[in-house]
């Protein structure tokens, strides 16, 4: 497994869960239901999860790019 692949996988799962939370919040708002977190809570939680996933995927991309850099030792 290459560098940054584990972080990228975790970020993709977090992004999917964030999208699901956002959709639940949207549905709660449309149906005018009182769910445990309410429509604002589900939507805010999904947004927070998506932001965290974005930062993790960027961190994985930076780690991958750093691993590609070959440092030539001085003779």
Q: What is the pLDDT of residues 20-73, one digit of tens each?
A: 888 888 887 788 766 676 777 777 888 888 898 888 888 877 877 777 776 656
21-28: long-range pairs with CB below 8 Å, 24+: 21/45, 21/46, 21/49, 22/46, 22/47, 22/50
pLDDT at residue number 4:
67
pLDDT band at 75 (very low <50, low <70, confident <90, very high): low
Phi, psi dihedrals of residue 70, rounded to the nearest 5°: -105, 120
Query: Domains of the chain: which residue ranges?
Result: 5-68
pLDDT value at 6 more than 70: yes
Residue 69, both tokens: 């850099």
pLDDT band at 3 (very low <50, low <70, confident <90, very high): low
């Amino acid at each position: 497994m290459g560098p940054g692949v584990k972080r990228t996988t975790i970020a993709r799962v977090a992004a999917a869960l964030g999208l699901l939370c956002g959709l639940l919040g949207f549905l709660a708002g449309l149906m005018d239901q009182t769910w445990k977190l309410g429509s604002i809570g589900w939507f805010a939680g999904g947004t927070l999860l998506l932001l965290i996933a974005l930062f993790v995927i960027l961190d994985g991309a930076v780690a991958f790019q750093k691993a590609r850099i070959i440092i030539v030792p001085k003779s």
